[in-house]
């Protein structure tokens, strides 16, 4: 097997054939994949667009039907016979006649009904199964219409108890003089919708159905599915709040995709569903056809490629045989041109090339002898130059190391000087900051002295005011004592008056009838004396408290005066301290100014020193750099000489090898 692979890989026919086959297979695979992808996309798009178009057509047809039913209900509600249903029962015949007219005019309507709030109920076609106790106001369609007055309501499918058929009831309220008097309703059989959907097919598995907003199936081609709820299905939760769209979902292990649209009038969703497997089968069949076409085209391409390549490789084998003879050293080979195409041109050029090689080998043999002897002499000269270059390189290396050491020491001294310069700059900066802080301290100190002086004035004024208040309080105290003495005298007079009035009362009593009026006056004087005594006693107690409070205030003012005196003395001491601090701050500022001048001159000298050291460092660096350049040049020259020396040795070997190898060619003398 390995021999077969090796022989197969060595053949140019096989290589060309493999390239051609790979190109054909790659191109065909790309074409097939592209066609398959495009076909898949088109099939899916066609199915999707078909579903969308079908759903919209169903929705438009249903919209026309719903619109006609609503117009019928509106027309019935405006009929005089209907609006006057409460006036007289004689309208029944007229109402049923109108119902018959509208029912025959709209083929979708199976029943027309009207019910009033007082349970009057008519329907067309009439039926005898309606009970006399039938209360239409309890029906769902009546309640829902009354809950949505003025609007048309649609109910979910429900079985008619009379006929057993599943119906969808559409209802609307009836008004009379702006008052709702009842509800008119139309019953549409679900068979009408199902008959429409039975005629709709999409592929083998596609079908359509309708659901209301509550998830109840209102129309389906399978009658047993009508009235069933799909509200619990996961896919319904995803579409119930959407007006239109598409969805892929899975039920019982089968994958489906749907397109749906919503009728704005009823809220019904018209859904078109198709199994995903049907589309996948169509795609697989299309891909299988493409693969079969690929195989047929591939087989034909391989056969055609073999026929083409064999016509190219046969002359190539003849040319390859001639090249093998040249490989063995036979330069007298001459091939015959068998065609005038590119292979024939290649054969002619091959003969010309062999002729040139033959002449070239003769020239090389002559040159090889001369080169061998010249290489020996060149090798000797290179060996001598190599020894001299090594001596010069060693001397320059020692000089360069000395210059580098000198440069390193100079650079170290420069760095130390720069560091010293940095320290001086830091000192200058610190001195400036100290000077600024001293000036700020001096300013703040002067401000403090001014504030202390102001406080001194205020304290002195407060002390003077305290003395005046103390004097006034002492005057008030003396006057209060004088008032207390006067009140005491008044109280004594009141007591004496009381005694006099008592004696007068006794004398009046002795005088009998003649002294009665005098006794009344004496009694009033006694009462007045007692009141005066009570008032003077009360005033005396108040004055006593006032005197005690004035004495307390006098003591407090005395303490305040003493504290103010101490505070005044403390402020005087503080003013002296601030004055002393201001004097010391001025001396510190003067010393810092002198220090700044000394640092300034030291900085100037430092700059001159730095310039000198930098100049020396530059000269040393230039000298070291020149030594390094010379050393590098010498090393490079030494390296080149060594390379030339090694090259001379190799050249000597090559000349000898060339002479040995050229001896293998077979040339005529």
Strand partners, 272: 208, 259
Which two three-digit tokens encode residue 254? 């089968």
Most confident of 68-77, 86-95, 583-592: 68-77
Same-domain check for residues 84 and 223: yes
Minimum mean pLDDT range among 167-171, 293-297, 588-592: 588-592
**What residues have CB less than 8 Å from 658, skipping those under 6 apart?**
364, 368, 371
- Asked if residue 233 is part of any domain, the answer here is yes
- Asked if residue 211 is part of any domain, the answer here is yes
Q: Which of 284, 312, 328 is the last residue of a domain?
A: 284
Same-domain check for residues 549 and 405: yes
Please count the helices (runs of H) and the strands (runs of E) in the chain: 10, 11
Same-domain check for residues 280 and 368: no
**pLDDT tens readout for residues 252-298:** 888 888 889 998 888 888 888 888 887 777 777 878 887 888 788 87
Enter the DSSP assignment of 549: H
Same-domain check for residues 483 and 600: yes
Cβ proximity of 139 and 158 under 8 Å? no
- Asked if residue 116 is part of any domain, the answer here is yes
**pLDDT tens readout for residues 600-632:** 777 777 677 667 667 766 766 676 677 677 667
- Asked if residue 324 is part of any domain, the answer here is no
What is the per-residue DSSP string for 480-508?
HHHHHHHHHHHHHHHHHHHHHHHHHHHHH
C-alpha distance from residue 419 to each of 411, 416, 424 (Å): 12, 5, 9
Enter the DSSP assignment of 151: S
Among 305, 222, 212, 205, smallest CA distance to 256 is for 205
Average pLDDT for residues 105-112, to the nearest whole number?
Answer: 84
- Asked if residue 219 is part of any domain, the answer here is yes
Q: Which of 249, 284, 319 is the last residue of a domain?
A: 284
CATH code of residue 555: 1.10.287.950
Task: Tell me the C-alpha distance between 352 and 293, whole Å.
Answer: 50
**What residues have CB less than 8 Å from 300, skipping those under 6 apart?**
none
Given pLDDT bands bounded at 50, 70 and 90, which one contains residue 183?
very high
- Asked if residue 33 is part of any domain, the answer here is no
Task: Tell me the C-alpha distance between 84 and 91, whole Å.
Answer: 7
pLDDT at 648: 66
Given pLDDT bands bounded at 50, 70 and 90, which one contains residue 3?
very low
**What residues have CB less than 8 Å from 129, skipping those under 6 apart?**
162
**pLDDT tens readout for residues 294-336:** 788 878 877 877 777 766 677 777 777 777 777 777 767 777 7
User: Dihedral, CA atoms, 406, 407, 411, 414, nearest 10 degrees?
Assistant: 70
pLDDT over 60 (residue 200): yes
Q: What is the CA radius of gyration of the chain?
A: 66
Same-domain check for residues 474 and 573: yes
pLDDT at 8: 44
What is the CB-side half-sphere exposure of residue 516 using CA atoms within 13 A?
3
Q: Mean pLDDT in the chain?
A: 76
- Please give the residue range of the domain that contains residue 632: 362-659
Residue 550 φ/ψ, nearest 5 degrees:
-65, -40
Task: Tell me the C-alpha distance between 662 and 329, whole Å.
Answer: 9
Task: Tell me the C-alpha distance between 76 and 58, whole Å.
Answer: 27
What is the per-residue DSSP string for 591-654?
HHHHHHHHHHHHHHHHHHHHHHHHHHHHHHHHHHHHHHHHHHHHHHHHHHHHHHHHHHHHHHHH
pLDDT at 631: 65
Rounded to 5°, the CA angle 344-349-351 comes to: 100
**pLDDT tens readout for residues 528-575:** 777 777 887 787 777 777 777 777 777 787 777 777 777 677 767 776
Pairing of strands 217-220, 207-211: antiparallel
Helix (H) or strand (E) holding 257: strand 254-262
C-alpha distance from residue 422 to each of 317, 427, 428 (Å): 88, 9, 10
CATH code of residue 220: 3.30.450.20
Please give the tally of structural domains in the chain: 2
Task: Tell me the C-alpha distance between 496 and 536, whole Å.
Answer: 14
Task: Tell me the C-alpha distance between 9 and 13, whole Å.
Answer: 9
- Asked if residue 459 is part of any domain, the answer here is yes
> With 0-12 CB in 10 A as exposed, 13-18 as middle and 19+ as buried, what is 174?
buried
Same-domain check for residues 279 and 397: no
Same-domain check for residues 278 and 366: no
Q: Which of 284, 317, 349 is the last residue of a domain?
A: 284
**pLDDT tens readout for residues 504-532:** 778 777 777 767 777 777 787 778 777 77
pLDDT over 70 (residue 400): no
């Amino acid at each position: 097997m390995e021999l077969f692979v090796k022989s197969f890989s060595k053949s140019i026919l096989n290589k060309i054939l493999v390239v051609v086959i790979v190109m054909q297979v790659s191109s065909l695979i790309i074409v097939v994949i592209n066609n398959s992808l495009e076909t898949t996309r088109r099939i899916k798009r066609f199915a999707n667009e078909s579903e969308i178009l079908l759903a919209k057509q169903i929705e438009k047809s249903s919209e026309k039907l719903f619109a006609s039913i609503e117009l019928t209900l509106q027309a019935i509600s405006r009929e005089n016979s209907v609006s006057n249903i409460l006036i007289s029962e004689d309208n029944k015949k007229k109402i049923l006649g109108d119902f018959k007219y509208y029912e025959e005019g709209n083929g979708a309507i199976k029943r027309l009904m009207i019910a009033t709030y007082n349970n009057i109920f008519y329907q067309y076609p009439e039926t005898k199964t309606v009970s006399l106790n039938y209360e239409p106001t309890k029906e769902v369609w009546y309640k829902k219409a009354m809950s949505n007055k003025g609007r048309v309501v649609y109910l979910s499918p429900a079985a008619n108890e009379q006929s057993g058929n599943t119906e969808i009831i559409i209802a609307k309220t009836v008004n009379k003089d702006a008052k709702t008097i009842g509800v008119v309703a139309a019953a549409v059989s679900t068979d009408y919708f199902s008959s429409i959907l039975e005629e709709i097919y999409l592929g083998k598995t596609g079908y359509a159905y309708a659901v209301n907003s509550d998830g109840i199936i209102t129309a389906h081609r399978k009658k047993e599915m009508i009235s069933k709820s799909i509200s619990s299905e996961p896919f319904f939760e995803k579409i119930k709040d959407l007006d239109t769209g598409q969805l892929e979902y899975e039920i019982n292990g089968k994958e489906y995709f749907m397109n749906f649209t919503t009728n704005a009038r009823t809220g019904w969703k018209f859904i078109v569903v198709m199994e995903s497997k049907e589309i996948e089968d169509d795609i697989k069949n299309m891909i299988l056809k493409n693969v079969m076409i690929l195989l047929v085209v591939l087989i034909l391409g391989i056969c055609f490629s073999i026929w083409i390549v064999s016509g190219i490789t046969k002359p190539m084998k003849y040319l390859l045989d001639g090249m093998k003879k040249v490989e063995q050293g036979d330069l007298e080979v001459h091939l015959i041109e068998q065609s005038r195409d590119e292979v024939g041109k290649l054969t002619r050029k091959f003969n010309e090339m062999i002729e040139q090689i033959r002449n070239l080998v003769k020239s090389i043999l002559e040159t090889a002898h001369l080169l061998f002897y010249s290489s020996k002499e060149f090798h000797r000269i290179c060996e001598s130059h190599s020894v001299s270059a090594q001596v010069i390189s060693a001397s320059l290396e020692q000089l360069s190391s000395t210059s580098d050491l000198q440069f390193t020491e100079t650079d170290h001294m420069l760095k130390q000087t720069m560091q010293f310069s940095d320290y001086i700059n830091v000192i200058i900066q610190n001195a400036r900051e100290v000077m600024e802080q001293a000036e700020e301290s001096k300013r703040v100190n002067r401000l403090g002295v001014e504030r202390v002086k102001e406080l001194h004035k205020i304290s002195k004024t407060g002390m003077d005011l305290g003395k005046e208040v103390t004097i006034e309080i002492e005057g008030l105290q003396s006057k209060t004592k004088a008032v207390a003495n006067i009140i005491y005298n008044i109280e004594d007079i009141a007591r004496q008056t009381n005694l006099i009035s008592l004696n007068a009362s006794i004398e009046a009593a002795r005088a009998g009838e003649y002294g009665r009026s005098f006794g009344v006056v004496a009694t009033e004087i006694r009462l007045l004396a007692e009141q005066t005594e009570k008032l003077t006693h009360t005033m005396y107690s108040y004055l006593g408290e006032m005197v005690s409070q004035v004495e307390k205030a006098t003591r407090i003012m005395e303490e305040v005066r003493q504290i103010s005196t101490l505070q005044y003395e403390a402020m005087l001491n503080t003013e002296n301290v601030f004055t002393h601090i201001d004097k010391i701050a001025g001396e510190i500022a003067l010393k810092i100014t002198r220090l700044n001048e000394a640092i300034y001159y030291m900085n100037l000298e430092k700059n001159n020193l730095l310039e000198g050291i930098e100049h020396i460092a530059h000269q040393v660096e230039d000298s070291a750099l020149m030594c390094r350049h010379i050393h590098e040049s010498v090393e490079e020259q030494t390296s080149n000489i060594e390379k030339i020396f090694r090259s001379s040795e190799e050249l000597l070997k090559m000349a000898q090898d060339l002479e040995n190898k050229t001896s293998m060619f077979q040339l005529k003398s």
